[in-house]
Every structure is written in C-alpha cells, then in structure tokens.
Amino acid sequence: MAAIASQVHETTSTPAWTIYRHRLPVRIMHWINVVCMTVLLGSGLQIFNAHPHLYWGEQSTFGHAAFEIGAVRGSDGQYHGVTRIGLHTLATDGVLGVSKGMDGQPQRRAFPSWATLPGPQNLALGRKWHFTFAWIFVINGTLYLLWAFASRHFSRDLAPTKSDWRGFFRSIVDHALLRHPHGEAATRYNVLQKLAYLAVIFVLVPGIVLMGLAMSPQFDTVLGGVVEAVGGRQSARTIHFILAMSLLAFVAIHVFELLVAGVFNHLRSMITGWYAVPGGRDEGAAKEDHP
C-alpha cells in the first residue's frame, strides 16, 4: 500500500526503467504492520487454543458450537484431530486438533505449537502479547490513515477510475492466469488490487479491532450497542475470528503474488523505495507519472 511517486531513472543505453514507488512513511508503517500482524496471529491462535470453540449469541453453550477444533479417539485407541463447522466434520489430524508438539510427540491442540506465540502454551503471556501489539497496530494504522488522507494517497492511487471498472473482468482473467502488467501499466494498481486494499483498510481491519474491543466487558458502556447489534459477545468473538482469517487469506495471496511477480524486485521496493518496472517504458508513455 504505497503511493507511486514521480521520480524516474532512465538511460539511453538500456530499456530498464525504475521508479520511486514506495515513500518512506509507507515503508516504515508497512514493516511495523508485518511485525504486528505476525505477533497478533500467533498470540491470537494461542488464545483460541485455550477454548477452541466459536458460538453465535451471548452465551457459550458447549454442546452447540458453530465451529470447533478438537480430537476424537479412533478405533486404534489414539486421538485424531477433527474440525467441525456446523453439522459437518472434517478430518484434520496432524494439523488441527492433534499435531506434533515441540518434543515431536502428538499432542491434542487446536492449532499446532509452531503457529502460536510466544510459545507452545502460555495463555497469560499470549494475551499480554496480543493486547500490546494490538494497540501498536491500531496506532500505526491511525497514523497511516492520517498520512494517506493528507497526501491524497486514497484519491490518487486507490480510488478506482472509470477505466479500472471497464477492465474489471479483464483483471480477473489476468490474475487467474498469473499474467502481470508490464511497462506503464505496472506503475499503478489494477482495479482488483485497489478494491482489495480498500477492503482491508476500511472493512477487515476496523472490523477486527471493533469486534476485539466488543469482546471486553470493560467496553460495554461504549460498545454495548455494537455487541447487541452483532448478536452478543460470543458472536463478536466469532466475527473477530472470521475477519482475522480473511485478513490472513489476503496476506497469503499477497505473498503468493509477490513470489510469482518477482520477490526481489518487490522486496527491494519496500526496503529502498525503488522499483524496476517490468518491460521498461512503453512507447508513447508520458515522461512523468502522476504526482
């Protein structure tokens, strides 16, 4: 999520074209987000492991979970991991429900020990890590919003244009076939990227934060209406989990796209700001990008 600046490096002896793509504030906030989201995911899974069940409503009725990760004893006398979603049961042994612990032996755990922070099993410390980094994440996100509005990042780089909407289905096909833009088209976000970033910024992240606060009884006087609107505190916990998994899916797709589109080039641009445009400058392209 970064603005595309107008600085361009060109030479007459090579078709290479580099632009200053990511400004310093965005690069700093991006890497803070990477650290925060990593810790929040690991510590969140550790908290979930303490009670790996999700409910809808105000109360947690153990016999009527909407979602749960657990273990059942098989005919061989051993426990096997299962995941239940409504009335459907999936075998997830070895990954969810039962997985190898740090000692290499099978353990009954919702999520495996390698995915939880700050260790295999420490609920109290996991909660402290989660809440601490949640506030860092919120502060960093607030600073990003202030910077983005002040620099016109949203209106200039992320607001879909009429041309974007006309190419909507073409963009879907290109992504499905792993076709990536070259030349001048690679200097700006396509419509799917814009919509994905806007959804993360204005839907997923605010929803995760709001539902996280709604789970705390201390916020009843402020968010009591929100808790009632979503159906209860357990519903807020379920929505928090769903939105967090949706954000994880976005990150997974984001990382996959970086790998197939040129991981070194994209990493360099997020560290130094400079991005080498695939395919060089198009014939007839403007000499400068939009400011």
**Do 288 and 6 contact (CB within 8 A), yes or no?**
yes
> Which amino acid is it at 68?
E
Per-residue pLDDT of the chain in tens (291 residues, 90 and over written 9): 444 443 444 433 334 588 888 899 999 999 999 999 999 999 999 999 999 999 998 877 767 899 999 999 988 889 999 999 998 999 999 999 999 877 778 889 999 999 999 988 889 999 999 999 999 999 999 999 999 999 998 888 899 999 989 989 999 998 888 888 887 888 888 899 999 999 999 999 999 999 999 998 888 788 878 888 998 999 999 999 999 999 999 999 999 988 888 889 989 999 999 988 887 665 433 333 333
Measured CA to CA, the distance from residue 39 to residue 75 in angstroms comes to: 38
DSSP 141-167: HHHHHHHHHHTTHIIIIISPPHHHHHT
Measured CA to CA, the distance from residue 47 to residue 216 in angstroms comes to: 14
Other beta carbons within 10 angstroms of residue 256's beta carbon come to: 11
Domains, the chain, ordered by start: 8-56+112-276 (1.20.950.20), 57-110 (no CATH)
